[in-house]
Amino acid sequence: MSSFFAVLFVVAAVVLVFGLVRKIIQYAKTPAPLKIATTPAPVTQSGVVLRLFREVVFFESLFKSTKWTWIFGWIFHLGLFLVLLRHLRYFMDPVWLPVELIQPFGIYGGMAMVVGLAGLFARRLFVDRVRYISAPSDYLWLVLLILIGLSGLMMKFVAHTDVVMVKQFFIGLYSMHIGELPPDFPLIMHLLLVVVLMLLFPFSKLLHVPGIFFSPSRNQVDNPREKRHLAPWAKAMEEQQN
Amino acid sequence: MAKANFVTPELHEFVEVPEVSEGTMAHLSPFVAYPEHNTDLNFPGELVEDWHGKTLSKLDDLRKRYRSLQVYLDSCVKCGACTDKCHYFLGTKDPKNMPVGRQDLLRKVYRRYFTLAGRFFPKLVGAKDLTRETLDEWYSYYHQCSQCRRCSVFCPYGIDTAEISMAAREILDSIGYGQKYCNEIIAKVGKIGNNLGLPGPALADTLEGLEEDVEDDTGVAVKYPLDVKGADILLVTPSADFFAEPHVDGLIGYGKVFHEAGVSWTLSSYASEAANFGMFIGSYENMRRVSLRIRKAALDLGVKRIVFGECGHAWRVAYAFLNTLAGPFDFLDPAYPVPQHIMEFTWDQIQKGKLKFDKTANDHMKLTFHDSCNVARATRMGDKPGGQIEIPRNVIKAVCNNFADMHHETIGERTFCCGGGGGLLTDDLMEIRVKGALPRMTALKNVMEEEGVTHLAAICAICKSQFTKVLPYYGMEMDQVVSVHQLVSNAIILTGQETDENDRDDEPDEVEI
């Protein structure tokens, strides 16, 4: 079983990384032929960095829009962020001090994550407008993430798993050494679901993660009168017509 | 036009977010373009036989040329933040008029043919086959979007439905399924020089009439020049300014400001249109062709500056795109931005103390200001972000004593569209225009009742025309709409002007700011 998981994780990691890199290259290479920043917009590059920072860290636009979605969405993402930081300890030896320090907060993060996701699920179910726009996959993503969160929390609060073994397994993968995984149900669940998440990430709406950094309405400097903004294809058209 | 066939929504204190009611607007589509309207713009005259293949290849082409389209099609997580933000949804309850609902019409097809998940598990991810009915649905609902970008303010990823609806319209045009209103107008600009098809002599005649009117009124010979070579400023203004009410009162105002500023200026019969409907149909090529007319006029007339009159989407094309589409404008005076908005020009003159006003001339009105969507959310005026929201208000307050803003959630970057933008200002779309005006009408009615506001000032030809038409549906008067430069025109005291009550030598009550 451990070899099965070893192969799965290597494949999932490759798919995740290459899938995302492929999309990022696609976004970066596709020209944005016109200035379409949603104004009022920053007039300097540093202003844009600040705008994206507020957007990514605080979900500024969502805050303007609807407070419930913002609260649940933000709690979930913040929780997930803390959880990811906490999990770094399974992938490094020795463990960095900041990762050491974040450990207890990671637990709260895990709980917050599940609470936020439950809120988002309820909203998807009970607000008729959101229900209308939801495809089955939209519910399934929430279920997947909730199950990942719950199975993870189970290992902390219900049935402990030998995390030292888990860590040895993942560190071992770096040197192509396949160690043993503890044969605990919550762990197997947890790992399987994470693999599914990693495999589907680059082919799903989770592309909002790289997407926001490439969103022209958010990442453009508002300076069209000062600078021409000619895309390569537009330039070619110009040369052909002139 | 008959008011029949639909019920105007009732005005309440607040705009309630309605429960979704599917298909309430499925019946509404604008008139389809005649073959010659399409072929004039280099589109196929009628729906091509291989529409299926052509649609998909155009979608593929556009997603490779527009980062916005590719990123926006991928990134939506269906969070619902935009669902209650569109005036057309609020006024019609139709879920396909929710921004995400509208985007999904195209996104479903994108997913089906261009993503792994949609190819193999279409039902799971809500992907749909492209059918003939899909095209009709696109045609209907992508012409119920005014491309006002209100949704993009609230989207956590800045997804702008305008980009999606422009792409959809460009796809439809590319397979010969164009909209009559937009395509006919763009062709008219190409042939005659403006949306309304006013030839040069008619313009000259109109302007001469304005000169006479102003001289009768003030005793001062204010000029409204046309095609004057060597003038400093080329004024490009929406052609509605030449005759429609209250637009023309704004044009009178521009002329008075230029006169008092002591600059030489001219209109151009060749570039007698600020509007650029190429944007509405998402066509870079057509938008560029219209823009190049302005460049040519500026070169031919040898002007030093370009100033735009009051028009919303025109200012978007001018401010955000003109330099890219038709630049570089290195032959103009580098001391001024290219182009400038008339509001920037007037505010600058006011700040320099060059203009004198009698604010009491506007005392019979209490004003509020409608931020035009394209101005507020897609452009800037002045040096600082938000100038496009402040400067028009500064100008109004400099010429009027009575002003009150509408509810803060309905102005500035959150402004509600008038309901007639984006190529919808046509009688065949009256139903969506009236229903889409609901949020703006509600805010106006409230500020009328609470603050005693009597008039709505606007800086967009489309907004002005739309309100003139739609206000009566909501029990208000069509002449409650005014141009901002109409207010300037009312209050400005021209050098040497005769006034009724005061002797010529009298100092005015109100002086420069």
pLDDT in tens, A186-205: 999 999 999 999 999 999 99
Query: Read out DSSP for B435-470?
Result: HHTHHHHHHHHHHHHHH---EEEES-HHHHHHHHHH
Confidence of residue B1 (pLDDT cuts 50, 70, 90): very low
Residue B43 has pLDDT above 60, yes or no: yes
Residue B259 has pLDDT above 60, yes or no: yes
If you ran DSSP here, which 8-state letter would residue A158 be given?
T
Which chain B residues touch A196 with a CB distance below 8 Å?
none
What does the pLDDT look like over B261-279, one tens digit per residue?
999 999 999 999 999 999 9
Residue B504 has pLDDT above 80, yes or no: no
Helix spans in B142-199 (H): 150-154, 161-174, 180-191
Distance (Å, rounded) from C-alpha A212 to C-alpha A165? 37
* Mean of per-residue pLDDT scores for chain B: 95
Q: Which residue of A has its CA nearest to B386?
A: A40
Distance (Å, rounded) from C-alpha B510 to C-alpha B490? 13
Within 13 Å, how many C-alpha atoms sit on residue B95's CB side?
Answer: 16
pLDDT of B505 reads 45
Supply B495's token pair. 């050098």
Name the A residues in 25-54 with CB < 8 Å from any B CB.
Answer: 26-27, 30-36, 38-43, 47
Segment B289-294 shows an average pLDDT of 96
Residue B2 has pLDDT above 70, yes or no: no
Percent of chain B scoring above 90 in pLDDT = 95
Q: Which residue of B has its CA nearest to A52?
A: B157
Residue A80, domain member (yes or no): yes
Angle (CA) B275-A218-B237 rounded to 5° is 15
Which chain B residues touch A143 with a CB distance below 8 Å?
none
3-state secondary structure B466-507: HHHHHHHHHCCCHHHEEEHHHHHHHHECCCCCCCCCCCCCCC
Q: Do B83 and A225 touch (CB under 8 A)?
A: no
CA distance B29 to chain A (A): 23
Q: Quote the domain boundaries for residue A190.
A: 2-19+40-220
Q: Is A56 on the interface with B (CB under 8 A)?
A: no
Distance (Å, rounded) from C-alpha A173 to C-alpha B339? 61
Domain limits, chain B: 35-185, 192-404+453-491
Residue B337 CB coordination number (10 Å)? 20
Q: Which residues pair with B357 in a beta bridge?
A: B492
pLDDT of A176 reads 86
Q: What's the CATH number where A73 sits? A: 1.20.950.20
What does the pLDDT look like over B365-398, one tens digit per residue?
999 999 999 999 999 999 999 999 999 999 999 9
Residue B177 has pLDDT above 80, yes or no: yes
What does the pLDDT look like over A52-64, one tens digit per residue?
999 999 999 999 9
Find the CB nearest B158 among A30, A38, A135: A38
Confidence of residue B501 (pLDDT cuts 50, 70, 90): low
Picking from B24, B73, B77 by the largest number of A CB atoms within 10 A of its own CB, the best residue to mutate is: B77
Find the CB nearest A218 among B76, B79, B158: B158
What does the pLDDT look like over A155-166, one tens digit per residue?
999 999 999 999
Q: Are strands B305-308 and B265-266 parallel, antiparallel or unpaired?
A: unpaired
Q: Do A59 and B83 touch (CB under 8 A)?
A: no
Confidence of residue A2 (pLDDT cuts 50, 70, 90): confident
Percent of chain B scoring above 70 in pLDDT = 96
Find the CB nearest A137 among B125, B157, B323: B125
> What φ, ψ does residue B481 adopt, rounded to 5°?
-95, 130
Angle (CA) B165-B196-B311 rounded to 5° is 60
Q: Do B157 and A27 touch (CB under 8 A)?
A: no
* Mean of per-residue pLDDT scores for chain A: 96
Angle (CA) B484-B487-B492 rounded to 5° is 125
Residue A33, domain member (yes or no): no
Residue A162 CB coordination number (10 Å)? 14
Confidence of residue B499 (pLDDT cuts 50, 70, 90): low
What does the pLDDT look like over A16-33, one tens digit per residue?
999 999 999 999 999 999
Residue A242, domain member (yes or no): no
Residue B433 CB coordination number (10 Å)? 25
pLDDT of B500 reads 56
Residue A26, domain member (yes or no): no
Q: Do B78 and A129 touch (CB under 8 A)?
A: no
Q: Do A66 and B81 touch (CB under 8 A)?
A: yes
Question: What dotted CATH number matches B35-185?
Answer: 1.10.1060
Which chain A residues touch B72 with a CB distance below 8 Å?
215
Distance (Å, rounded) from C-alpha A113 to C-alpha A72? 9
What does the pLDDT look like over A196-242, one tens digit per residue?
999 999 999 999 999 999 999 999 999 999 999 999 999 999 998 76
Segment B31-41 shows an average pLDDT of 96
pLDDT of B512 reads 44
Q: Which residues pair with B267 in a beta bridge?
A: B226
CA-to-CA dists, residue B327 to A34, A96, A230, angstroms: 13, 53, 10
Segment B107-136 shows an average pLDDT of 97
Confidence of residue B4 (pLDDT cuts 50, 70, 90): low
Quick one: which H or E segment has residue B143?
none
Q: Do B80 and A43 touch (CB under 8 A)?
A: no
> What φ, ψ does residue B106 adopt, rounded to 5°?
-85, -40
A175's CB contacts (< 8 A; 6+ apart) are: none
CA distance B392 to chain A (A): 15
Confidence of residue B497 (pLDDT cuts 50, 70, 90): confident
Amino acid (1-letter code) at residue B477: E
Confidence of residue B507 (pLDDT cuts 50, 70, 90): very low
Find the CB nearest B163 among A36, A47, A233: A36
pLDDT of A233 reads 96
Picking from A18, A58, A225 by the largest number of B CB atoms within 10 A of its own CB, the best residue to mutate is: A225
pLDDT of B98 reads 98
What does the pLDDT look like over A88-139, one tens digit per residue?
999 998 999 999 999 999 999 999 999 999 999 999 999 999 999 999 999 9
Amino acid (1-letter code) at residue B61: D
Name the A residues in 194-233 with CB < 8 Å from any B CB.
Answer: 200, 203-205, 207-208, 211-212, 214-218, 222, 224-231, 233
Q: What is the dihedral of CA B85, B88, B91, B96, to 10 degrees?
A: -90
Are the CB atoms for B149 and B160 separated by under 8 Å?
yes
Segment B450-462 shows an average pLDDT of 98
Q: Which residue of A has its CA nearest to B324?
A: A228
CA distance A16 to chain B (A): 14
Supply B259's token pair. 């006169």
Picking from B324, B373, B383 by the largest number of A CB atoms within 10 A of its own CB, the best residue to mutate is: B324
Residue A14, domain member (yes or no): yes
CA distance A6 to chain B (A): 25
Distance (Å, rounded) from C-alpha B204 to C-alpha B227? 9
- Cα–chain-centroid distance for residue A189? 20
Residue A94, domain member (yes or no): yes
- By CB atoms closer than 10 A (0-12, 13-18, 19+), residue B236 is buried
- What total of structural domains would you count in chain A? 1
Q: Return the residue matching tokens 């995984």.
A: A181
Distance (Å, rounded) from C-alpha B305 to C-alpha B234? 6
Q: Chains A, B: CB contacts under 8 A, how many?
A: 219
What is the C-alpha radius of gyration for chain B, rounded to an integer number of angstroms? 23
Distance (Å, rounded) from C-alpha B405 to C-alpha B411? 8
Residue B232 has pLDDT above 80, yes or no: yes
